[in-house]
């Protein structure tokens, strides 16, 4: 497994645990440390994991609003915890990461793979639909207007 993919998996698992245990801030660092020890002992660097987790936390209210807007038929608390945190992670990479390092389609594909691996095939389709909607809106907003 590539180190960036493994890092995303560890970040998602840690965010899931944090969400599961009631979103207590002090629980997140412990979950990340524990998951790095358990699932990432061979990683050369854990910087990317922390960058993802801190990025999601720094932008959590904005990410949740975007999810609510892109999936209006699915209230946030009715989306499974795995899917919700995969979406948060995917949106963070799609919206806030350097596009030269993480092109939008890579961010979307990685999120789909996480959803399939940790949730199921239909979750991959759901994540693809939500992130695809956001990506299309981004692309449309970045297009120069014709006068």
| Model pLDDT, residue 121 | 78
Give the pair of three-digit tokens for residue 67: 């999810």
Helices 81-96 & 47-58 angle (0-180, nearest 10): 100
What is the rounded distance in angstroms from the CA atom of residue 37 to the CA atom of residue 39?
A: 6
CATH fold for the domain made of 3-142: N-utilizing Substance Protein B Homolog; Chain A (1.10.940)
| Model pLDDT, residue 1 | 52
Give the pair of three-digit tokens for residue 34: 């524990």
Backbone φ and ψ of 17, nearest 5°: -60, -45
pLDDT digits (tens, 9 = 90+) for 53-110: 999 999 999 999 999 999 989 999 999 999 999 999 999 999 999 888 899 999 999 9
DSSP state of 130: H
What are the structural domain ranges in the chain?
3-142
Per cent of the chain over pLDDT 70 is: 96
Does the pTM exceed 0.85?
yes
């Amino acid at each position: 497994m590539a180190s960036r993919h493994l890092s995303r998996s560890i970040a998602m698992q840690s965010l899931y645990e944090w969400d599961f245990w009631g979103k207590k801030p002090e629980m997140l660092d412990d979950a990340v440390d524990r998951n790095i020890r358990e699932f990432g002992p061979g990683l050369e660097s854990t910087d990317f994991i922390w960058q993802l987790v801190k990025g999601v936390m720094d932008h959590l209210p904005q990410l949740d609003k975007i999810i609510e807007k892109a999936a209006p038929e699915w209230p946030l608390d009715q989306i499974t915890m795995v899917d919700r945190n995969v979406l948060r992670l995917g949106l963070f990479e799609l919206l806030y990461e350097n596009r030269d390092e993480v092109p939008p389609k890579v961010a979307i594909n990685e999120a789909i793979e996480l959803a399939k691996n940790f949730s199921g095939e239909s979750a991959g389709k759901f994540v693809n639909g939500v992130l695809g909607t956001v990506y299309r809106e981004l692309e449309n907003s970045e297009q120069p207007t014709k006068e």
